[in-house]
Structure 1
Amino acid sequence: MAVSIPLWMHNFPRLLRAQPEKQKEVVCAPALTQLVVDLACSNDIRQSLEHVLNRLQSYVSFHLNADIFLIGAPSSYRDQLLHASTATPPIGIAGQLRYQLTEHGVHDANELRYKLPGSAFSVHALQLPFDKNQPACWMVLCFNERLPDSDQINRISAPVAEALTAGLSGWYRQQSRINAAISSEKAAHAAELHDSIAQILGYMRIKASRLTDQCKRKAEPELAEISQDLCHQAQSAYRQTREMIACSRLSIEQGQLVSAISQAISEFEQRSAIVFEMDNRVGGQLLTEDDSQTIFIVREALNNIVRHSHASHARVQLLRQKDSSIRIRIEDNGKGISADEARPDSFGMKIMQERAEKIHANLFILPRKQGGTRIELVIPDLSA
């Protein structure tokens, strides 16, 4: 026992010094290469970016003692903000970036350094250089202390920015190819419909109408009733086919949804004797996760009003809710319908519901107290 005590006392300081420091995960070059591949080949870019930011957060925190955020990607909505699950974004970080870009007249800046008002946070923002046709995206590093100099930050963040740019650029190119292929397929499908079924139905519609007139002139009530039903079905099938062709050819640019809804209302108003009204309370620009899905839902609702409602008046309202979500309300004063009353062979409402789910929206089909039907599409705020 007398020997062990001096040895213990002699070795204790060395044992303390030999304790390895707890190392945080460090992202190295091979991991950044995999990051590029993961983003470029992603089927769900938002989910992929969240995974990537979780990996990058440890790297940035280890080397710079900062949090990393992405603002503006992969959405054209300028305040879209993504971050790691372990990072909490300071209040107003996206809005302050927009303020720096607009109020201070630095539209062409690629790098910004500033403090967040009312807090101890400092920001170093670097724009990721995409093609001009793609929305601007910023990699934002947020420091709870004084900003290090730019050279120190860029030595650490430059490889990360290059990897993010390469990965997202690859994803944008992939999406462009996919959209081009879809548009080409839709155009071919529309051409096939037009050159085959639409022309045949158009011919049948004309012949059925003439047959109905002849039966009426020759006082053949039984044949007149049958021919009138054939005429009605031929006209209905022809209208549906034309609507399918219109939807196949439909292409809408981001930010043009309000204009597309207005054009659709004018188009359906010309097809019927129904008076349509548009009540726009969101302004000239409306952004959703996928504007094409939204306009398809609106067109299907308008088509149902024209074909089934027997209404004299219809109204489309674009409303912004207190939680910043968007409510598109389409109602008529017709005979009324509910989702439970839809025919088993009618796929219109089912397709509308599926399209709403794709953009994480809620679709409601309700009866109006005054008579008629109300359809409400509630779209979440993109900045959430």
Structure 2
Amino acid sequence: MLFVKRSVTSSIARMLIAIVILSILSTGLALVTLAASRTDAEAINISGSLRMQSYRLAYDLTTNSPYLNSHIRQYDMSLNAPALKEIDSFYFPHDIQLKYQTLLDRWKILEYELNQGNGDMYISQLAEYVNQINEFVLAIQIFSELKLKTAGTISIASFLLTIGLVFFVIHFSRRKIVAPLNQMVAASHYIQTGHFDHQPLDTTQPNELGVLANAFTSMSSDLAKLYQSLAEKVEEKTVKLTQANRSLGVLYDCLQALSVSQVDRQCFEQVLHIVCNSENLVIIRLEVQDSGEGRWVLEEGKEDNSRDWHHLVLQQDEQILGKLSWQCADEDAVHPQLIGNVGNILSRGIYFNRAQKRYLQVLLMEERATIARELHDSLAQSLSFLRIQLTLLKRVVPSNNDRAMVVIADFDQALSSAYRQLRELLATFRLTIQEADLHEALNQLITPLQAQTEVPIHIHCALSSQALNAQQQVHALQIVREATLNAIKHAKAKNIYVNCESTKDGYNLITIIDDGMGIKSLDEPEGHYGLNIMSERACRLGGTLAISRQEEGGTCVRLIFPQQ
């Protein structure tokens, strides 16, 4: 804590008090001088009248005037007037008091001579007495003038001293107050413009301004540090805001890439491309896993074996959907929160892709179920009616009519074939698959088939669900169902294997293999259309269907088609 040794206010107050005291003293002395001179004029007037009265007494003596006694009393009253009695005061000079006392004593002698009738004695001494009066009047006049000169000198000296003190106060104020304040004002303007390298202030003054300059300098130093800290924080916040703005742009582009009616492989590839370019990544890889062994892998960039991998698990509603992996060209340039947000976007995209696929698959199943109901309510009813009519016709036509019986037999065979084909179509159309996940859909498909046989059906699914769209999955599952059902009915196998995987050149491969007696012929038996329907479905998938008999026994149904 700083202490004030010599306060500016105290110094100015002392100077002002000195001016006030000087003014009081000068005014007091002037007033005392004037007060002492208030009767000088009267004293001079009365003293001057004594000469006239002295001559009047001489005239009264020569003319035997009857007013002599009254004039003597009047002279005595004038000589003892109060104005002349003040001459005995302490502030009158001693010579004046002595002259006055001499006049009093001489008057007593002259008054005695007058009262004794010695007029000649009075007249003989009158000239000398009048000279004494003149000297007395002159002394009073000189003393009065001296007092006036003294009052004037005191006033002039007081005025000059007052002016000197005023100039000293002004000089002191300019040097000790105004100059330091101007320096502080200039320093404050420097600080206001953000410059803290102002001229050094005088902190050595032992007064309030020295304390203020010291505090101002300390405050300026603290403000410089604070300003520097704030500048660094603003720069840091600017960098963060720039990063946040860039991150928002990347997230917006990623959301735009996934905001389409059909989320497919190209959408995810576009997201990976955006993130890889924005974050300057060496490589970014998206791995989507199914409930089985299926993996869907997308990559952007080229792997660098000398760099470390970073991983982020993708999950939605506590369900693990896959993994996002990347390699950084610059570890500090990658924003972890951005990657996390991109991971959330990809998780939602994968979840939406599966939900969208499930929705389209349900629509297909509902459409096929509707067709099955229509076939059952129309064509199946018609075929049943025809079979009943055919039975009635057999009863009506005589059995010995060979020609009619041949026609009826042919008609019965065609009707039975149509009815069997219709049942196969109905069974196909009534297939219900609710799962979008390929592995789960296979399990849902194989479970009712496994209930129809004791032959174990083995499923190995290494094909990702994202490699097939809803329509492809429905057709592929129908082919799997038909092939598996044929193996159950005709192969007499001990094991049936269903394998789903992807080839090295990016195609989807599904094989249904049994270890039974093998297919006898690739020609469709009369009245059966399963193989033809399977081939037609393979054509719709844009792929090929190959059915072959294995050398070690059994049949292999091989379906290969491109990914979506």
Counterpart AA for 2:345? A
Higher strand share: 1
Per-residue deviation, residues 262-290 of structure 1 (Å, max 9, x unmatched): 634766xxxxxxxx88464556x675746
2:283 aligns to what? 67
Corresponding residue SS for 1:239: helix
Q: Which of 39, 44, 51 in structure 1 is aligned with 2:258?
A: 39
Question: 1:130 and 1:33 mapped to 2: Cα distance?
Answer: 20
Counterpart AA for 2:268? L
Q: Which of 126, 137, 145 in structure 1 is aligned with 2:322?
A: 137
Q: Does 1:51 align with 2:247?
A: no
Corresponding residue SS for 1:219: coil
Q: Which of 394, 417, 421 in structure 2 is aligned with 1:240?
A: 421
Asked if the contact 2:311–2:326 (Cα under 8 Å) also holds between the matched residues in 1, the reply is yes
Amino-acid identity (%): 24
Counterpart AA for 1:251? T
Higher helix share: 2
Unmatched tracts of structure 1, length 5 or more: 1-25, 91-118, 268-275
Kindly state the Cα deviation for residue 136 of structure 1 after the two structures are TM-superposed.
1.3
Kindly state the Cα deviation for residue 186 of structure 1 after the two structures are TM-superposed.
2.4
Counterpart AA for 2:546? F
1:159–1:75 CA distance, 2 compared to 1 (3 A): same
1:12 aligns to what? none
Per-residue deviation, residues 165-223 of structure 1 (Å, max 9, x unmatched): 444444444334433332332232222222211222223234435545765x7233222
Counterpart AA for 1:337? L
Asked if the contact 2:295–2:463 (Cα under 8 Å) also holds between the matched residues in 1, the reply is no
Corresponding residue SS for 1:189: helix
Asked if the contact 2:286–2:324 (Cα under 8 Å) also holds between the matched residues in 1, the reply is yes
Asked if the contact 1:40–1:170 (Cα under 8 Å) also holds between the matched residues in 2, the reply is no
Kindly state the Cα deviation for residue 55 of structure 1 after the two structures are TM-superposed.
2.9
1:147-162 pair list within 5 angstroms = 153-162=335-344
Q: Does 1:81 align with 2:81?
A: no
Corresponding residue SS for 2:513: strand
Per-residue deviation, residues 207-253 of structure 1 (Å, max 9, x unmatched): 435545765x7233222222222222222222222222222221233
1:156–1:314 CA distance, 2 compared to 1 (3 A): same
Q: Which of 388, 393, 401 in structure 2 is aligned with 1:220?
A: 401
Question: 2:412 and 2:546 mapped to 1: Cα distance?
Answer: 34
Corresponding residue SS for 1:251: coil
Q: Does 1:124 align with 2:343?
A: no
1:318 aligns to what? 497
Kindly state the Cα deviation for residue 380 of structure 1 after the two structures are TM-superposed.
8.6
1:354–1:236 CA distance, 2 compared to 1 (3 A): closer
Higher Rg of the two aligned structures:
2
Q: Which of 364, 370, 375 in structure 2 is aligned with 1:193?
A: 375
Question: 1:142 and 1:192 mapped to 2: Cα distance?
Answer: 57
TM-score, normalised to structure 2, is: 0.43
Corresponding residue SS for 2:522: coil
1:44–1:225 CA distance, 2 compared to 1 (3 A): farther
Unmatched tracts of structure 2, length 5 or more: 1-244, 504-508
Corresponding residue SS for 1:58: helix
Asked if the contact 1:212–1:227 (Cα under 8 Å) also holds between the matched residues in 2, the reply is yes
Per-residue deviation, residues 29-68 of structure 1 (Å, max 9, x unmatched): 445434324334264612332233233222232xxx4532
Question: 2:247 and 2:336 mapped to 1: Cα distance?
Answer: 16
2:477 aligns to what? 295
Question: 1:189 and 1:333 mapped to 2: Cα distance?
Answer: 34
Asked if the contact 1:27–1:55 (Cα under 8 Å) also holds between the matched residues in 2, the reply is no
Question: 1:335 and 1:182 mapped to 2: Cα distance?
Answer: 34
Question: 2:392 and 2:484 mapped to 1: Cα distance?
Answer: 29
Asked if the contact 1:201–1:238 (Cα under 8 Å) also holds between the matched residues in 2, the reply is yes
1:93-112 pair list within 5 angstroms = none
Q: Which of 176, 179, 195 in structure 1 is aligned with 2:361?
A: 179
1:257-268 pair list within 5 angstroms = 257=442, 260-261=445-446, 263-264=448-449
Kindly state the Cα deviation for residue 364 of structure 1 after the two structures are TM-superposed.
0.7
Q: Does 1:202 align with 2:384?
A: yes
Question: 1:42 and 1:323 mapped to 2: Cα distance?
Answer: 27
Question: 1:237 and 1:138 mapped to 2: Cα distance?
Answer: 52
1:266-285 pair list within 5 angstroms = 278=455, 280=457, 282=459
Asked if the contact 1:125–1:141 (Cα under 8 Å) also holds between the matched residues in 2, the reply is yes
1:18 aligns to what? none
Corresponding residue SS for 2:313: strand
Counterpart AA for 2:273? N
1:321–1:181 CA distance, 2 compared to 1 (3 A): closer
- Give the number of equivalent residue pairs: 302
Asked if the contact 2:484–2:496 (Cα under 8 Å) also holds between the matched residues in 1, the reply is no
Asked if the contact 1:40–1:169 (Cα under 8 Å) also holds between the matched residues in 2, the reply is no
Bigger RCO (CA 8 Å, 6+ sep)? 1
Question: 1:71 and 1:323 mapped to 2: Cα distance?
Answer: 15
